[in-house]
Amino acid sequence: MTSAFSVGLSTLHDPMDAAREAAGQARAGLGTLPATLVLVFATPEAALAGEILVEEVQIALAPEVLLGAMGEAVIAAGREIEGGPAVAVWAAHLPGAHITPFQLEAHRTSEGLEVSGWPEQSAETPSDPILLLADPFTFPADALLGEVNAAETGAWVVGGLASGAARAGDHRLFYQGRVLDHGAVGAVLAGVRAVPVVSQGCEPIGPEMVITAGDGQVVEELAGVPALDKLRSVVDDLDPRERDLASRGLLAGLVINENQPDYERGDFLIRGIQGGDSDTGALVVGERIRVGQTLRFHVRDASSADDDLRLALRRASAGALAAPAGGLVFSCNGRGTHMFPSPDHDAACIENELDAIPAAGMFCNGEIGPVGGKSFLHGFTATMALFGSAE
């Protein structure tokens, strides 16, 4: 049997009207097919009436599983609604799939934070994607991802952190018929053909170098040379365009999976350079490093971010999935018109590169997606789950 996907978008000011319009469009897109999985994304103005949104979506689509979150902006149907109210509804008919929804909460114990609600079923299907939507104030998404990676099941996680609120308790998460203001929600998608897309929006510069000394987040030496000295020599060897980009900010790209002959853009985990010590020549990066790991410096601007996203989408559509039929999108709230000269950038790229597949999502306070076979929390990134049509 064949999967089907649809999307609806409304910018009406009344939350009930907006939910009805967006859900009605999604219902029409599926025709008479039942909805297996539905995602609801709403800007803060609409998310405050979350109970109304959830009720209207359930009436229209009666999904087996309903998830969603509040985002500073909503992405759907080739548009990014950065100002004003908006509701997006993404619906999928997934015959043969087994969707296991979960709600997570973080509790403080004498030994630190403990997460409850993780489904046992996730361990039975190691290659299945996991959707995760979390509140950035009350849920340690990065710590959870560390545990998922340590389990080495092969599972990959995609999603993002809710955005649009400045304090704990003001974000909204949607879970089945409920509206939550804390924790995380998600689902294990068993029996679904899907691939991840992670575009960190960067361009590599200079050579690849091995970390020859360091500990924790401190890189002491690169290729046997004090790291700060090596950085300076790399910048000195750049062409004028690259040197101009480097002057606006350098980033560290760390290879996560060394078991390959060559490294391309998507093989590096991008992290900020948090400082340097002129006395020791060490650099501090925003990730734990290991001696023997490969590092390459990167730069980020609108042009490199555009190139990187298009390349990631083309690779995904030419890969094992062949022809993507639907997608979920999680883009950083620092992208959009904050990064690009015109609106709708990421949404328009997806429309252009993937033949206008039904795609929806939101702007996030942090984006989740895999690099080198492990899942991480990113920044200034666009991540996606792309779904195939045939089961």
Are the C-beta atoms of 115 and 132 separated by less than 8 Å? no
Same-domain pairing of 359 and 320: yes
pTM of the model: 0.94
Task: Write out the two tokens for 202.
Answer: 């960067």
Chosen domain end from 299, 325, 351: 299
Cα 40 to chain centroid distance, Å, stands at: 16
Q: Are 284 and 275 in contact (CB under 8 A)?
A: yes
Q: Which of 132, 307, 289 minimizes the C-alpha distance to 202? A: 307
**242 and 260 inside one domain:** yes
Q: Are residues 250 and 270 part of one domain?
A: yes
Helix (H) or strand (E) holding 386: strand 382-388
Tokens of 154: 């092969």
Per-residue DSSP letter, 2 = B
Of 56, 48, 50, 45, the C-alpha closest to 23 is 56
- 174 with 218, same domain: the answer is no
Cα distances (angstroms) measured from residue 78 to each of 100, 173, 329, 357, 370: 29, 23, 11, 9, 24
For the CA atoms of 17, 19, 20, 21, what is the dihedral angle to 10 degrees? 80
Whether 286 and 361 share a structural domain: no
Q: What is the DSSP letter of 164?
A: S
355-379 pLDDT, tens digit each = 999 999 999 999 999 999 999 999 9
Whole-number Å distance between alpha carbons of 57 and 292 = 51
In angstroms, the first-to-last Cα distance of the chain is 6
**Total residues found in the chain within this entry:** 391
Full strand arrangement of the beta sheet holding 112-116 = 112-116, 98-109, 184-190, 129-134, 156-161, 367-371, 374-378
Check: CB of residue 46 under 8 Å from CB of residue 311. no
Question: Residue 100 corresponds to which amino acid?
Answer: T
The strand pairing partners of 41, in sequence order, are 69, 88
- Whether residues 67 and 119 share a domain: the answer is yes
In this structure, the answer to whether residues 33 and 167 fall within a common structural domain is yes
Kindly report the backbone phi and psi dihedral angles of residue 280, in degrees, each rounded to the nearest multiple of 5, phi listed first. -95, -20
Helix axes 302-318, 345-353, angle to 10 degrees: 30
> Are residues 82 and 143 located together in one domain of the fold?
yes
One domain, residues 183 and 240: no
The residue range of the domain holding 188 is 4-199+305-388
Tokens of 271: 């992290």
Last residue of a domain, one of 299, 322, 355: 299
As given in the structure block, the two tokens for residue 156 are 């990959």
List the beta strands (DSSP E) in 223-343: 225-226, 251-255, 268-277, 282-285, 294-299, 324-332
Q: Report how far residue 136's alpha carbon sits from residue 305's, in angstroms, rounded to the nearest whole number.
A: 24
237 and 327 co-located in one domain: no
Residue 147 shares a structural domain with residue 253: no
Give ∠ CA 115-119-123 in degrees, rounded to 5.
110
Tens of pLDDT along the chain (391 residues) come to 799 999 999 999 999 999 999 999 999 999 999 999 999 999 999 999 999 999 999 999 999 999 999 999 999 999 999 988 999 999 999 999 999 999 999 987 877 778 899 887 654 455 789 999 999 999 999 999 998 998 888 889 999 999 999 999 999 999 999 999 999 999 999 999 999 999 999 999 999 999 999 999 999 999 999 999 999 999 999 999 999 989 988 999 999 998 888 898 889 999 999 999 999 999 999 999 999 999 999 999 999 999 999 999 999 888 767 789 999 999 999 999 999 999 999 999 999 999 999 999 999 999 999 999 999 999 999 999 999 986 5
Side chain identity at residue 241, one-letter code: R
Are 284 and 309 found together in one domain? no
- What total number of domains does the chain contain? 2
Q: Which of 273, 299, 325 is the last residue of a domain?
A: 299
**Residue 261: exposure state from Cβ atoms within 10 A (0-12, 13-18, ≥19):** exposed
Task: Look up residue 307 and give its two tokens.
Answer: 């190139």
Please tell me what DSSP assigns to residue 169: T
CA neighbor of 195 nearest in space, from 62, 1, 391, 387: 387
